[in-house]
Chains A and B, each alone.
Chain A
Amino acid sequence: MKDSFARNLQTAIILLVVGGILALALGGYLRSASNLLSESLVAAQRWLSSRYLAIQDFLTVPRDVASLRERNAALESEISRLQGQVVTLRQQAEQAEILAALVDFTRTNPESAYKAAEVIGRDPSPFLHYVIINVGSNDGIRRGMPVVTDKGLVGRVDATIADAARVQLITDPAISVNVRLQNAQTDAVLVGSVSGDIFLDLISQDVTVEPGDVVLTSGLGGGYPPDLLVGQVVNVRKRDYELFQQASVQPNVDFSRLQIVLVITNFRPVDITPLLPATPIP
């Protein structure tokens, strides 16, 4: 009986204390104390959490670095492989573009028969401007055949072997091509130079030549078919005391980046040497 009374009293005291605390809390009297308590708890939890994470990092990071390195190496090799693919695809795209342009050119000029060839080398001597192409006499290529691209005249075949041919470019210092100026309606002779620049010579002083005039082959002399595009006049040199005007020409073809060319196979150059006088006429 006595024990029962004491337990009930204890319960009542606890309830009173709890009720009192609740009343104080609800009345706002415990706010500072609860804040202090919560701050302490949060700080303790933060400390514990940061220590735990530090220990976890210490235990797991070395393994992650190794795996990251492996992953990095794998990705780098993948990048190298893809970069190789990009280069190959770019080359293929560039070649396809060139071939498409050449096909367009052959369609717009159906009167000629063409044989496509790849440029595989250049003359070992810097004094000469020749390229070597990968078609030769086995493919019907003969000396003197004109070589073009979709941009215009490149040169002519100088020598052939079974599977290759040497092409003399129009930039070669030893070449001369009979041309005509489309706007000025006059003929001239195109000559190359050691620097790779091309010039017009033997332009009559009476003719007005302007920068931008289009230069085409004239077909005179029988060395080249007529109306092949060569380039445009860049500037003109006219001196009163000289017999002829000269002009420098910007070629349409980029000779430093020649990759694929077309040989005109149904053109036979005419050899007019027997018709030329043996000695100059006074």
Chain B
Amino acid sequence: MRALVLFPVMIFLVIFQSAVVSRINLLAGHADLLLVFLALWGLQERADVWPWAIVAGLLVGFVSGLPWLVVLVGYLLVAALTWLLRRRIWEAPLLGVFAVVFIGTLSMHSVTFIVLRLSGNSQGFSETLELITLPALLLNLLLTLPLYAMVRDLAAWVHPAKETL
């Protein structure tokens, strides 16, 4: 039942993303708080990331001008990455988080770019890479460290170890 606390957390993150994080630009890119949160959450032991990826996708899809399916697919890709990497690199969790954030950002932006191109948007690939993706990648990686401790504590509270129950 404690996992339900993630609903208000997700809503807060979406509001914070829209009101604050989206205004902090590096060139034309900005960080994706929800993506980093999902990457961190997905790599926690016993944490279930799939439903929260769907919740995040629907919430951001509601706020954003992007088609909601694009956002949903992007976050599900991040969830899939965490699912793939969780057991394999447990000895280096921070490295795993950085890997998921890195690949997740690239996947998310690739999906968005492809869909926007197919829908007639004339954004150039190199321009998008230089002005949006690389700055956003850097900001996401920078955001990972401060969020890491918070998400780990939250996960420990939501899924306490059996001996502490």
Q: Which residues of A contact B (CB under 8 A)?
A: 120-128, 130, 132, 158-159, 166, 168, 173-174, 191, 193-196, 256
Whether the Cβ atoms of A130 and B65 lie closer than 8 Å is: yes
User: In this assembly, does B113 line the interface, its C-beta being within 8 Å of a C-beta of chain A?
Assistant: yes
In the docked arrangement, what's the CA distance between A191 and B123, Å? 11
CB contacts under 8 Å to A, within B1-57, are 14-15, 17-19, 21-23, 25, 27-30, 32, 34
Whether the Cβ atoms of A194 and B65 lie closer than 8 Å is: no
CB contact under 8 A between A194 and B22, given known A124-B63, A127-B116, A158-B65: no
Q: CB < 8 Å: which of B22, B116, B123, B127 contacts A124?
A: B22
* Interface segment out of the listed B77-85, B93-101, B128-136, B142-150: B128-136
Whether the Cβ atoms of B127 and A122 lie closer than 8 Å is: no
In the docked arrangement, what's the CA distance between A27 and B32, Å? 101
Chain A residues with Cβ under 8 A from B112's Cβ?
125, 127
Q: Residue of A at shortest CB range from B13? A: A124
In the docked arrangement, what's the CA distance between A173 and B113, Å? 12
In the docked arrangement, what's the CA distance between A173 and B27, Å? 15
In the docked arrangement, what's the CA distance between A194 and B116, Å? 12
Whether the Cβ atoms of B28 and A124 lie closer than 8 Å is: no
Q: CB < 8 Å: which of B19, B25, B34, B123 contacts A121?
A: B19
Whether the Cβ atoms of B131 and A195 lie closer than 8 Å is: yes
Whether the Cβ atoms of A121 and B28 lie closer than 8 Å is: no
Q: CB < 8 Å: which of B19, B64, B124, B127 contacts A120?
A: B19
Q: CB < 8 Å: which of B23, B113, B122 contacts A127?
A: B113
Residue of A122, A158, A168, A173 ringed by the most chain B CB atoms within 10 A: A122
Chain B residues with Cβ under 8 A from A132's Cβ?
18, 63
CB contact under 8 A between A128 and B65, given known A194-B28, A195-B27, A196-B28: yes
Q: Residue of B at shortest CB range from A257? A: B23
Q: Residue of A at shortest CB range from B124? A: A194
Chain A residues with Cβ under 8 A from B116's Cβ?
127, 173-174
In the docked arrangement, what's the CA distance between A125 and B18, Å? 9
Whether the Cβ atoms of B29 and A126 lie closer than 8 Å is: yes
Give 6 CB contacts A-B under 8 Å: A124-B18, A126-B28, A127-B113, A128-B64, A130-B65, A256-B25
Q: Residue of A at shortest CB range from B30? A: A126
Whether the Cβ atoms of B65 and A125 lie closer than 8 Å is: yes
CB contact under 8 A between A124 and B60, given known A173-B122, A173-B123: yes
Q: CB < 8 Å: which of A124, A125, A158, A173 contacts B121?
A: A173
Whether the Cβ atoms of B121 and A126 lie closer than 8 Å is: no
Whether the Cβ atoms of B18 and A127 lie closer than 8 Å is: no
In the docked arrangement, what's the CA distance between A72 and B53, Å? 52
15 more contacts with CB within 8 A, not counting A126-B25, A128-B66, are A120-B18, A122-B18, A122-B23, A123-B64, A124-B17, A124-B60, A126-B22, A126-B30, A127-B132, A168-B65, A173-B116, A174-B120, A194-B131, A194-B132, A256-B25
A125 CB to nearest chain B CB (Å): 5
Chain A residues with Cβ under 8 A from B122's Cβ?
173, 191
Q: CB < 8 Å: which of A120, A122, A126, A195 contacts B136?
A: A126
Residue of B34, B63, B113 ringed by the most chain A CB atoms within 10 A: B63
A202 CB to nearest chain B CB (Å): 14
A66 CB to nearest chain B CB (Å): 39
Chain A residues with Cβ under 8 A from B119's Cβ?
174
